[in-house]
Structure formats: C-alpha cells, structure tokens
Chains A and B, each alone.
Chain A
C-alpha cells in the first residue's frame, strides 16, 4: 500500500513553492496588456482603462504596444481572415510567460458574423487563456477576466516558462453552413426596376433634354429620383452631371453595385449616388452591366472620391472599372477567392489567407529611386497594429528619414461582411449589425437604418419616437466626438484628455443603459420607433447630464485650445481645400472644417430639426486644429439641441401604430384572433416592406451615413449598401500625408475620426 506523506513532501518543496508563489504574485500583479484592439470591444476596453473602472488598480494599465514587453495579449474585437496572420505574428513575438485574453463574442467564436471573411474564434490560431463573453463585454467583465487570469497564474506551479509551440498552425477554414444560401430575386423586383415612369422635376427634365439617347428608364420612388442609363457613354454623362451648372453634382456620394442574378439580361447594376451642394439635389444614376462582360468606365478622373468605392465594387462584385489606375481588392484579403456579394457566393465560404503583401508604394519607390539613381528610401510599415492606426488601418510609407515621400493605405482588417450579413438576416435582425458599424455612436446607425426601411414603407414615426431618437443620437454624437478628440490628443501625447473625455461618455452610457440596457451597442432603435418607452426619470437624467457635460468639455478646451504645442502640432497639418474635400466626398466635421456648412440636419431636415435652434460651426483651413474646434463646438450645439428637444418632448406612443411594422399590443394578442395572427406573422416572417429602392441618409457623427436599400418584398433586404462617411474620408489620407512628417500622420489620422467598423463594414 502506498502511503503519501504530505508533510515531508511539503518540506522538500518548501523552497520552490515559496519561490513560485512569490513569482506568481509578481506576475499576476504586473500584467501589462498588449491591446490588440480592432472593433467595438476596443472601445469598451478603453472604458475599462478610463476613470470609472480604472484597470490601473490591478497594475495592468501599462499598455505596451511592443509585443516583447507585454504579458497579456488582449484581443479586443473581431479578427478576420486578413487580420489573422497579423495576430499570429504579434503573438509569436511576445516573450514568455504570455497569456491571451479573448474579449467578446467575435474574438471568441466569430460572434454573429458567420461570414466569409471572419475568423470563427481566435483559437483557430492562438491559444486562449480567458474568454470574455458579451458583445461587447462590459468593463466589469474585462476586470473579471483579469482577475480570473490572476487566479490562473496563482495556481500555476511552473517556475519558468519554456518557449514551446503552444501555437496552432493556420489551417484551411471550414465552410460555415449555418447561414443559408440566397435565392434569386423575384420577377416583381426586376419589373419594378425596368418600369419607366413619367417623372417631373428640374433634374429629370434637364436630364431628358440633355441625354435623350442615353436614358433607359426613369423613376421616382419615395422622393428618390433614379435614372438608368446605358453603360457605353457613362463617362460623358457623369462628366456633364458634375461640371454642368444645371446639374452641378459636385459630390459623388457613393458608387456601388447590385447583383440581380439570372433574372435579368444584364446581371449587375452599377449605382451612383450623387449630391449637388448648390441646388440641394440628389440623384441616383444606374447603369446595367452584363454578366459576361462586367465592366464599365471608371469615374476616378471625374471625382477623386470614386477611387475606393469602385475598388470595393470590384472586390465585392468583380465589376471591372476600365481606366481605374489601381483596381485591386480593397476589403478582402489579396488571397481571397471569389466576389462575395454576388448572389451565388455562399455567405460562409472562407478562404485561407496567410500572407501579408506589400502595397504598390514599394514598387513605386523602387522605380523612382532607380530612375533617379538614388538610394532606395526607407519603407516603413505603419499598422495595422500600430498604436496610432487605431488597430486596423495599414499605411505603408516610403520615407526619407522622418519625411514621408509617398504612401499607400490599406484597409479591410475589420471587414466583417456587414452587407452580406444583412442580406441573410431579416429586417429586424439587421439592427444589431448596424450598431457595430460606427460603434462609437451606434444609436445613429440604427436610426439611419430604420429610417431607410421606414422610407421604404413611406411612413412617418410618432413624434415622441422622433424626439427620443434625436436626443439619444445627439448624445451619441457628443460621445463620438469626445472619443475622437480624446484619442487624437492621446496620439499627440496629451494623455489626460482621453480620461476627461471618457468621464462624460460614461455618463452618457448610463443614460443609454437606462433606456435599453445596452451601453455601447444599444440596439434601441426599432423600425417604426424605438424598442420601448424611455424610463420615468429620463427627463431628469437628461437635464442633469446637460449640466454635467459642459465642465468636462471646458476642461479639454482649457487644456488645448490655446496650447502652444497643440497648435504647433495641429495648425496647417493636412489642410485641405473645400473643393478637394468635396471632390473626395468628405462629409461631416471634416468637410465643415474646410468651410463648407453642409450639415444634413440643416439642409435636409427631418425629425423637427428645422424647429431646433442650433448653429453649424465651420472652420477655415480644414486642418487638424480646425477639425478639433469644429468638433468641440458641435458638442455644444448638440447640447443645445438636446435642451430644446427635452423641453418639448411630446407624449404619445413610442412605436408606430402600423400592423405591417410593429407588434400588436400584448393585450390584443391574448384576446383576439386578428392581433394574434398579426403577431404570429410578424414574428415568423418579420416585416415585409414593399418592392422598391431607397437611399436614406443622416448626419452621423463623422459625416453622411447613408443606407441604400433594395427590397424585393421579402423578409430580408435584397441589398443593403452602407455608405460610411469615413470610407470616403480615409481614401484621401495617403494623399494628404505626402510630404509631412511621421508625427503628422498620427495627428492627422486621429483628427479624421475613422471608425473601422463603418469604414470596412
């Protein structure tokens, strides 16, 4: 019989156990994180670091962006197939002992992004020690994960960690079968699209007069003018539309495509949305493109802003834009196979992506150096995991010392297939996806999306719902601007502003939480109103917030507005003229900083915005400093709007009383058959909008957020295109930074308010 003598064993191991407990105590008390932030979770991590939660209490606030100096790799947000190799490289570079925390549903299992470009959990490539559930997890959950990890470390008896292959190799991902294949469109939609109407209006008439030969069909639906032209002469049409003062469509809002599969002779439609700032007109121009020759002339030489939009249409649909200078994939990985938004592409079909490629700037720099007979300039890779690149953007620069000679940017490291996902989900289910577009101000995305479906129905929501949307959206705008300004200043080295910005933000979270339970991604909006009525103390809460926010804003202003160093760093940096900005498709504060007072809330007001008194701040030079000033002033103006809205908050229903859209009252469901049937139908099928296409738009925090929605009358959107404001802003970035210093890149990027979720969809 074996007798275990615990006492002697303990004595033998006395030294090692004491030593290891001391070492473990040190290790757990000094967990320096590497924040591998990509998406919404990163914002909640920032909240964890901010004053309310203060990760510093655990000794874990020493954020190191050098993987060799950090202990715990915190993966914050969705990792897609393009980002996978980067994540793996960072993990491999970390020094032992190292741990991994996977924050949020996306990092853990892909979340609800069961899509062609999203890694279904980071444990496909790196081992994970602690998983945090939630989408995104609250800061408390992050603190809990840190404590859990500390407990794990405490229980560890190893004294030293050998560098052992804890890593998993990249493997071919499986096709995810949980999402169903998509059906071709019904004939009704095709009929609707081909239907030619007699349209009145200055633009339509002028167009008919100018291009009698080109027009295929013309239609007006819910106030949207839509003209289909032949693709052969598209360039000439577009040029006239831009340059002719009669049309004057100086701003190209969006270029995208729609796939009508086999139901039509010409399979694809290339869709242009444009805006005339002088006449306040909008126009949708379409051109059909056949499947056997999916090509059309490029518009890059007409509007600079068409550059990335066309690349995206190429990436997603495989439509070739003839004459485009740099037609590469943009959102998906260069190794990706297929064009995912085509209707015959299975939504869950992933491609294994392993390499990171050089951008064209390397080749350009080499050729230039050879032709001039000079030394090859330094090629510097900035991002995607560079602290100033906010986790997901990549810039490759050819630099002479610190001066940037040439640059190229790459995006797609957070491409989460929003558009494909919305085609596979019902109208209601799309709302949480929209929250994760611009996660800094998720409320506004939901509002804009709901507006598009409401526009499709042609209904107006009750006043009370409108006011709730206005109040919470304006608060979201404030929160968004505070993060933008705060992180911009942190990038410049002024640390404290970040914490001053996050304090009031946390209070705004509390307000949102009291309404719907969500902090960051609220999902409070419903089609036809909001999810539930506001809580009883809402008005008091808002009044209190109106008093608590201004001091924080003033603090930030006091520290920076007249700060000599801040002015030195920001004045004149990436100044852009109004014309260029419009040409690139800038909107929002970035455009207003150039002196163009384009604000949808004033120009195309809805929701009683025309009755609120507020001003639109504009800058002069369009540089970093002006953008800062515009944002700070917009915060104050938003407070003004909220004040007026809360004083005039109407009573009444918070949901539209339309049985096509909103659920019947519970009382009715339990007592009469009509409501019961209605409830059943809505729950089973969701809402079924009429056949049609609309473009709805709103002034989101960083510019015009637009949703182009095509409905075939079924329960899922046939096509939902998101026009993210920062997509058009960021494409100008590599042109703006040429000739500047490395430090200016950092200052400029922060000032543009690029949110990866919206940029890369």
Chain B
C-alpha cells in the first residue's frame, strides 16, 4: 500500500471518524437537553436550570450518573443476549453516518512534504463525509434496520412480560414501516438516478430545486415512516410509558439503558439527516440556482446541513409535546392501508412522469 492510498483510505477516514464520533456523541447528549428544554418551554416551564448555567451541563451529569449506576442483569434473563442487545442497537445507529454527506467535496488539503522522511504528500480534495458509497442509500436502509434487532433481542432476553410486549410492538412496527419507507424514497431514486447520497444532493443542485418540491408526497411519507422507525411520538409504542412501563428496556439499568437511549437519539439524527439529504438539498443553500441569493453561499454547506437537521429534530420534539400516541392496531392500519398505497401510487406517478418528461438527469 502506498502512502496516498494509506492517507485516502485509512488515515483520513480515521480522522473523520474520530471527529464525527466525538461531535455526534456531543450532539446526541445535547439533543437530550434540547428535548427537555424545548418541551419545557412548550409546557410553560423552564426545564433543567441548576446543573451548569441554564442546565447546560445536565447531559454530562446524566451521563456520569448512568455510567456509575449499578448494572443489574435479571437472574432469569438470557445473559449473553441481554448484554449484547444494547450494543446491537447502538452500533448501526452510529455507523450509518459513514455515508451521510454533511457537506460537499470541498476540503482542500495542500500538498506537503513530511519533514525528516522526505516523503511528498500530494495535494488532495476531500469531502465532509467519511465515504461516498455508490450504494449509499441501500447501505443506510440496510444498516439502520439492524438497530431494531437489538430492541427485539433486548426485550426478549429480559424474560419479562412488559419488555416482551414492547419488543413485539417494535418488530411489527419495523416490518410495516420499513416497506413504506423504502417505497417513499423510490421517487427520489428515479429522479436522481443514483444511490450515492452525494450524487443525490448534486442531482438536486442540477435540477435547480430540492426534491421536496418535486416529491412532496414522498417526503411526507418518508418523514412519517422515519418517525415510526425511530419509535418516537406519536409512534412511540415500543416504550409507551403509560402502557408498558418503560417498554423494551424496562429491565435495563445504568449504562446499558443509556446505550438504548443514545441509539434512539442517534437514530433520530439519522432520519433527520436522510430527510435533509434526500429531500431538502443536503448541504445546499436555499434556492441553489438563484444567483441573487448568492450571499447565502457564504454560510458553509455543513452549517446549512446542520440547520436543516435541527429543524427536523425540532419537529420530533414538537410531535412529542403535542400528540397522543396511536394504538397498536391503528399503527398497523396506517402503515399498511394508508401509507403503503400512497407510496406505491407515488412511485407509479413519478415513474410515468420521469419517463414522459425524459427524466431530470
């Protein structure tokens, strides 16, 4: 392996992974605070105030406490699966980020010589993403659905009734919404003609409009299914507090419980990022083709991306503060009888239009 490929395939990704992992952990931790604060404001309260100024250190306190809490494994639980389940949930939630483009391929690293070794490092350009897989979208769908396996295993391994019910709900929910989710992004695929997430964003740039304007139905379906996939209100049945105590993680304590927590919030960010990437132009500024708005381009792409993701996260919290949750059978009904037909219709209509108008490529 020569130096260039070492830098391209090992060193740079490792650095990026490190940065991303650190950032992501922080973002997830502060997302919990954001949730508590925003919901508090919606409920005419203040939310955490005492731990750090305006409660800013709250997530850190929670984290330390959870890590040091006694870790209970129920004596009748399946111990191996019980310990494995939170990890199975957490890892996919994190590795999905490998293909999500936070910004364009625009980081220039000038060429330089490593002093002492006298090795020439060539100039190179890299992007605000770890890798640009040509099957990125498939990768996201495939990996993110593993996470729910952890939930099912966790609920089953607890050997307790409420977690089991939570896990069963989760399984049913996954099966029903994964399908509609897949169909809802077909329209985008047909219009972009690629599975690479970077290319999908570029295609939106070329098309001159974010796909949400061309695929509004697809977007709404995607976001509904996304909320359902992440088990958040109003689809938070697997951990419905008032029904199943704490759902699938009732028997988990301390650190393991916090892993489930982290995974849930990471999954929220994944869905929001995907919504932004597929429908809201990723890192693109608003109206990317209108030159008059060029000053918006001064804001770096990844900030646009972060801003858009934040909007979706806000929606998540907003939903949680406002809506009751569905019942199990209603959830199934909506998934199969409402979302699925609309998604399929959307695919057909898009396909016809793409053929008729000659495609947008």
Contact = CB atoms under 8 A, between A and B. Distances in A.
Interface in B71-116: 71-72
Interface in B239-294: 240-246, 249-254, 257
A30 interface: yes
Contact of B43 (A388, A499, A568): A499
Contact of B61 (A59, A494, A503): A59
B126 interface: no
A730 B263 CA distance: 40
Interface string B44-76: 111111110001011011111110111110000
B155 interface: no
Given A57-B46, A496-B42, A741 B55 contact: no
Given A61-B36, A95-B253, A493 B236 contact: yes
A496 to B, nearest CB: 5
Interface in B317-350: 320-330
A312 interface: no
Given A30-B61, A54-B40, A68-B257, A23 B68 contact: yes
Contacts, number: 182
B137 interface: no
Interface in A557-604: 559, 563, 565-566, 568-569
Contacts of B254: 95
B43 A741 contact: no
B234 A30 contact: no
Given A68-B72, A68-B253, A496-B321, A387 B43 contact: no
Nearest to A160: B68
Interface in A96-118: 96-97
A526 to B, nearest CB: 36
Contacts of A498: 43
Interface stretch (A175-183, A474-482, A694-702, A742-750): A742-750
Given A57-B46, A57-B49, A492 B324 contact: yes
A71 interface: yes
Given A51-B44, A66-B246, A569 B324 contact: yes
A174 interface: no
A403 to B, nearest CB: 9
Contacts of B323: 493-494, 563, 565
A388 to B, nearest CB: 5
A69 interface: yes
Contacts of B71: 95
Interface residues of B, number: 61
Interface string B149-175: 000000000000100010011000000
A161 B65 CA distance: 12
Nearest to B161: A380
Contacts of B326: 565, 568-569
A149 to B, nearest CB: 13
A71 B233 CA distance: 25
A66 B71 CA distance: 14
Given A56-B45, A491-B242, A30 B65 contact: yes
B140 interface: no
Given A56-B47, A56-B48, A496-B43, A25 B61 contact: yes
Given A494-B322, A743-B243, A743-B327, A71 B68 contact: no
Contact of A51 (B43, B50, B251, B257): B43
9 A-B pairs with least C-beta separation: A493-B325, A26-B64, A68-B253, A29-B51, A29-B61, A499-B43, A66-B246, A492-B324, A95-B70
